[in-house]
């Protein structure tokens, strides 16, 4: 149900404003001004329905919800310029999710994106294998993509995997971890198991993975923790429901969250610059929390990162968007007045931000 759509727009626009461009010289921020991933942006057909669905399976707490004029968001990322959009901020144990409904008065049809990309394809929820969320998601109606009656044991190392589509056609991954795998992570593993499930990463499938890895190395100030060379396995085929695939991958750690980059060599991921917009159902952005937005923008502009649209304030957070080499939206946000409950401080860290020797 669209519970807020009928509210008067004029009463709901407070706290959203475009910020004038910086005119004075700005000192460059160090890469460690990036604290981690603040939120993953997701365009949905109905916020109530999305929250109701995921709340049955994983921790999914709405901490803020508001209607704003569509024109409050930069035209470079949202084509809709009149009327209202609804935005909800959802807290999970590791990261926020920002849900956007661009047409609160009606429900958009489902839209599925190809597992082979390009673009953002899924986020992942992990759970202990002793209480697997795969079973819960299957019971509540997640449309499983992966083959077989249960999650796929990829390589016998204590983790099983599956992909599935929610009612909007948005894909998620489910990973089930054996107790020994969680215990091997020490204190971090123990912190995770305070919760029945947690989100670990967002995946992107670029047409040119090497160029994307180079781009994010500039953004984060360090390279990937792990690299997977071009590989084939029958169990890969089972996870994505495509025969004889060949894939490679890279993983970056950002403390509370991971960035996962896959490339399909067979079937080939298309290479193209696609100007991704928030108007389409699905994952729309990855936004990093920073301690110095102006300094981070200045540093990244010097590195050649292309920013799109002005900075804007919403709910005490100041945000600026950019595009990666293939047109996907990333962003940077600074908590000005939103308070500690809207920052990622205190969320469960998955890994150190310091890269280790890559492994396969």
Structure confidence at residue 352 (pLDDT): 61
β-strand partners of 16: 314
Structure confidence at residue 250 (pLDDT): 99
pLDDT in tens, 38-55: 999 999 999 999 999 999
DSSP summary character for residue 103:
-
Listed residue (123, 134, 131) closest to 173, CA to CA: 123
β-strand partners of 250: 227, 261
Backbone angles phi, psi at 36, to 5 degrees: 155, -170
CATH number assigned to the domain with residue range 119-266, chosen from the 4 options 3.10.180.10, 3.30.70.2860, 2.40.50.140, 3.90.1150.10: 3.10.180.10
Residue ranges in 198-342 assigned as alpha helix (H)? 209-220, 234-240, 293-302
% helix / strand / coil in the chain, to the nearest 5?
A: 20, 35, 45
Q: Would you give the end-to-end CA distance of the chain in angstroms?
A: 46
* Three-state secondary structure call for residue 55: helix
The domain segmentation of the chain, as residue ranges, is 9-108+282-342, 119-266
Is there a shared CATH topology between the 9-108+282-342 domain and the 119-266 domain?
yes
Backbone angles phi, psi at 188, to 5 degrees: -65, -40
Q: Is the dihedral of CA 77, 86, 254, 131 positive or negative?
A: negative
Q: Is the dihedral of CA 78, 85, 260, 34 positive or negative?
A: positive
Backbone angles phi, psi at 338, to 5 degrees: -75, -20
Q: How far apart are CA 313 and CA 64, in angstroms?
A: 15
Q: How far apart are CA 220 and CA 248, in angstroms?
A: 21
Strands annotated E in 167-225 = 171-177, 198-205
How many whole angstroms from its chain centre is CA 154? 23
Structure confidence at residue 353 (pLDDT): 59
How many whole angstroms from its chain centre is CA 251? 14
Structure confidence at residue 346 (pLDDT): 85
Structure confidence at residue 15 (pLDDT): 54
Q: Which residues of the chain have pLDDT under 70?
A: 1-17, 20-24, 351-360
DSSP summary character for residue 105:
T
Structure confidence at residue 6 (pLDDT): 38
CATH 3.40.1160.10 matches 9-108+282-342: no
Report in angstroms the alpha-carbon separations of 171 from 6, 262, 299, 300: 30, 15, 34, 31
Q: Are 100 and 85 in contact (CB under 8 A)?
A: yes
Structure confidence at residue 3 (pLDDT): 53
Instruction: For residue 185, give both structure tokens.
Output: 């992570």
Listed residue (4, 112, 17, 103) closest to 62, CA to CA: 4
């Amino acid at each position: 149900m669209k519970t807020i759509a009928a509210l008067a727009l004029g009463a709901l626009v407070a706290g959203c404003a475009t910020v004038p461009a910086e005119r004075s010289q700005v000192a460059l921020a160090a890469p460690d001004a990036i604290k981690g991933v603040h939120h993953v942006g997701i365009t949905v057909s109905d916020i109530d329905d999305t929250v109701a669905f995921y709340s049955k399976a994983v921790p999914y707490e709405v901490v803020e919800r508001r209607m704003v004029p569509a024109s409050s968001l930069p035209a470079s990322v949202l084509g809709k310029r009149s009327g209202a959009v609804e935005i909800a901020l959802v807290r999970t144990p590791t990261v926020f999710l920002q849900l956007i409904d661009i047409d609160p008065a009606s429900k958009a049809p489902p839209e599925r994106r190809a597992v082979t990309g390009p673009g953002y394809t899924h986020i992942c929820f992990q759970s202990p294998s002793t209480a697997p969320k795969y079973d819960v998601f299957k019971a509540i109606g997640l449309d499983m993509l992966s083959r077989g009656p249960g999650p796929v044991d990829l390589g016998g190392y204590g983790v099983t995997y599956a992909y599935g589509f929610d009612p909007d056609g948005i894909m998620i991954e489910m990973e089930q971890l054996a107790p020994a795998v969680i215990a091997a992570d020490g204190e971090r593993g123990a912190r995770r198991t305070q919760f029945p499930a947690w989100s670990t990463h967002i995946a992107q499938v670029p047409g040119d993975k090497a160029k994307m890895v180079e781009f994010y190395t500039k953004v984060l100030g360090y390279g990937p923790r792990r690299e997977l060379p071009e590989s084939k396995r029958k169990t890969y085929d089972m996870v994505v429901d495509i025969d004889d695939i060949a894939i490679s991958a890279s993983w970056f750690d950002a403390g509370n969250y991971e960035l996962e980059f896959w490339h399909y060599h067979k079937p080939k991921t298309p290479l193209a610059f696609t100007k991704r917009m928030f108007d389409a159902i699905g994952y729309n952005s990855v936004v990093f929390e920073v301690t110095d937005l102006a300094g981070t923008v200045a540093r990244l502009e010097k590195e050649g990162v292309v920013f799109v649209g002005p900075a804007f304030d919403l709910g005490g957070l100041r945000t600026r968007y950019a595009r990666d080499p293939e047109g996907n939206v990333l962003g940077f946000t600074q908590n000005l007045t939103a308070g500690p409950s809207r920052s990622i401080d205190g969320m469960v860290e998955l890994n150190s931000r310091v890269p280790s020797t890559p492994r396969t």
